[in-house]
Chain A
């Protein structure tokens, strides 16, 4: 099977994630979409690793996972805190950092 199909899937997943980040208001959903984009990138790394026949891409995928795990911890903490103070998880409500 042609490895480039994986890249197409990766692009599709990334696009779905990106659109989700832009159009959805719920912070949890936005967060999941970001995870989707990170994993789309991971899929690309692994695919390129396969195409090139070395392990560099797979190692990068591990790194991405670690970073994603850290990001989840920090991100969820922020979302929970905001929810506690505002009773809302909508990203549009938290728009005080302007002007």
Chain B
């Protein structure tokens, strides 16, 4: 494999920025944000350079690696800290640094009134570095370091305004739920080490055929748990909605475009494990399908624009996970949807941030309305993202989402029909809730608070939005033209015969999907455009709406099933520790003390009683000896 000495700069540049800004303190306040943006952009530059190098080489020679240092060397277990840039990583590197840089630019203006802007940029750079380490690591162990790093950055950024207790709680919630997933990843690494004796991607891929299916299934399930934690997939999805407590650029970068897609990366990267463990692969599909519907249903009921978008993110990542669970035919489409989603969802989040910027940080869509005239650029960029997520041709989502729906239908048998129907229905619901967001925000009557003076955002904010909107329009077409991305990623995935089952022709699938989208849009139109929208959420709604408003009871479920029993368990353990362990220790002390005070009665100071005791003792001793000798 080729080596390249410049891979490390991808990570080192933003990491240096984070270190400098955090250690430099207030001195760097004036220029910190510019430095952070420049470093992120230069990391993007290194990524582009690597891409150009990669394009110049033949297919087999494209992956490059760099050994950083010898990390662990114990007996037969050797792990080098190494970086690996192949066709899959480069997609992520460019997405992370590209979207990341745009969001840095956006944040310069968005956070300009925040006196802690430097700290914000330091954390953003930290996130970029950790995320790059995640996708560039050449072993599960290196990936794990990046995995924890992005978890930390996510925690720090969700709780960036931690002076508000609710936000601090949200960051803690995200961190704790992520830990559950991290546990899955560490177990997966342990399984790999125990059964294969190696944790590098290449090593595990080699050893797969010598490993029992049970071990691979176990590893696959653990990897799935890890992916579910990081990507907010069922059953670990509950943190994403609350993660919207962070500043909006964070939601766009971390909780829409990059970090939450790490689970998709993990599953795609571990394709050799999942291909050899059909049970785990089936579970991946099921998790994806459930989350897809789960997020879509939550999205229909949310009035908070960011939470509606978060639910949408959850749902779209459900699509990716589902595609990744379909095996070799699906990996490339999962990545394609991930990339197009990165563009349009980040763009829409930035649009939401722009709206909030103009509306005194109001997030309730019921208090928006008629903003189209006041924010034409935001409306246009958001609208392009909207068309992209709907899957209207020729926007990006059309290519990526249709491919997933089609692949799902072609999965074969009942499985294919169920998955295809779920993805189709999801597309319809997506159309409904996204149309709802559009209508509530940009059209209709003004339902603003009295002190709202909506205005278009400055160019530093709309420029990144415009770039992302261009991506939302073109990325799907560019990536699927001549199956560009599929062929690009082809060498990484084992391909079987692709055209085994062809349940529905692509054109039929597109037709069905567009019909579902049209129905969704029409329902939303009738419901929200034809009628007056109340600026306070109506109370007399159906029980389904009530449940959806409460995130389908996910928090109550977690509280009843995990938190309360967990609390009971810890209380019991605490009480047991107090009663049994401490009780025993204290009991021994008590026994010594009470027997001591009982014996103390003998110490009465009367010489004669001492003498009598000595006498009795001596007589008893002699009697005992006498008895024994006899």
Contact = CB atoms under 8 A, between A and B. Distances in A.
B605 A95 contact: yes
A97 B605 contact: yes
Contacts of A98: 603-605
Nearest to B604: A98
Interface in B586-610: 600, 603-608
Nearest to B609: A22
A74 interface: no
Contacts of A97: 605
A91 B600 contact: no
B106 to A, nearest CB: 82
A95 B604 CA distance: 7
A96 interface: yes
A7 interface: no
Contacts of A18: 615
A94 B603 contact: no
Contacts of A22: 608, 611-612, 615
Given A94-B607, A99-B600, 6 more contacts: A91-B608, A95-B604, A97-B605, A98-B603, A99-B604, A99-B605
Interface in A25-46: 25, 30
- Does more than half of chain A's interface fall in helix, strand or loop, or is it mixed? loop
A21 B604 contact: no
Given A18-B615, A22-B615, A99 B608 contact: no
B559 to A, nearest CB: 59
A25 B611 CA distance: 12
Nearest to A21: B611
Interface in A47-99: 91-92, 94-99
A8 to B, nearest CB: 16
Contact of A96 (B605, B612, B615): B605
A91 B603 contact: no
A95 B606 contact: yes
Interface residues of A, number: 14
A92 B603 CA distance: 13
A21 B603 CA distance: 18
B615 A25 contact: no
Contacts of A99: 600, 603-605
B398 to A, nearest CB: 95
A21 B608 contact: yes
Interface in B472-509: none
B600 A92 contact: no
14 contacts: A22-B608, A22-B611, A23-B608, A30-B608, A91-B607, A92-B607, A92-B608, A95-B604, A95-B606, A96-B605, A98-B604, A99-B600, A99-B603, A99-B605
Contacts of A94: 607
A98 B607 CA distance: 10
A68 to B, nearest CB: 17
A97 to B, nearest CB: 5
Nearest to A25: B608
A33 to B, nearest CB: 10
A96 B608 CA distance: 14
Nearest to A94: B607
Interface string B310-343: 0000000000000000000000000000000000
Contacts of B615: 18, 21-22
Contacts of B607: 30, 91-92, 94-95
Q: Pick from A22, A30, A95, A96 the residue with the most CB of B within 10 Å.
A: A22
Nearest to B611: A21
B597 to A, nearest CB: 10
Contacts of B612: 22
A99 B596 CA distance: 11
Contacts of A92: 606-608
A99 B607 CA distance: 14
Contacts of A21: 608, 611, 615
Nearest to B600: A99
A21 B604 CA distance: 17
A25 B609 CA distance: 11
B609 to A, nearest CB: 8
A21 B616 CA distance: 13
A25 B606 CA distance: 10
Contacts of A91: 606-608
Nearest to B612: A22
Nearest to A91: B607
Can you list the 9 inter-chain pairs with the closest CB atoms, starting with the nearest?
A98-B605, A95-B605, A22-B612, A91-B607, A21-B611, A95-B606, A98-B604, A97-B605, A98-B603
A25 B615 CA distance: 17
Chain A CB within 10 A, most for which of B604, B605, B615:
B605
B309 to A, nearest CB: 79
Nearest to A18: B615
Contacts of B608: 21-23, 25, 30, 91-92
A22 B610 CA distance: 9
Nearest to A98: B605
Interface string B76-90: 000000000000000
Nearest to A22: B612
B551 to A, nearest CB: 70
A18 B616 CA distance: 11
* Residue of A25, A95, A96 most packed against chain B (CB within 10 A): A95
Nearest to B615: A18
Nearest to B607: A91
B324 to A, nearest CB: 80
Interface string A7-24: 000000000001001110
Interface in B558-609: 600, 603-608
A99 B602 CA distance: 9
A18 B614 CA distance: 10
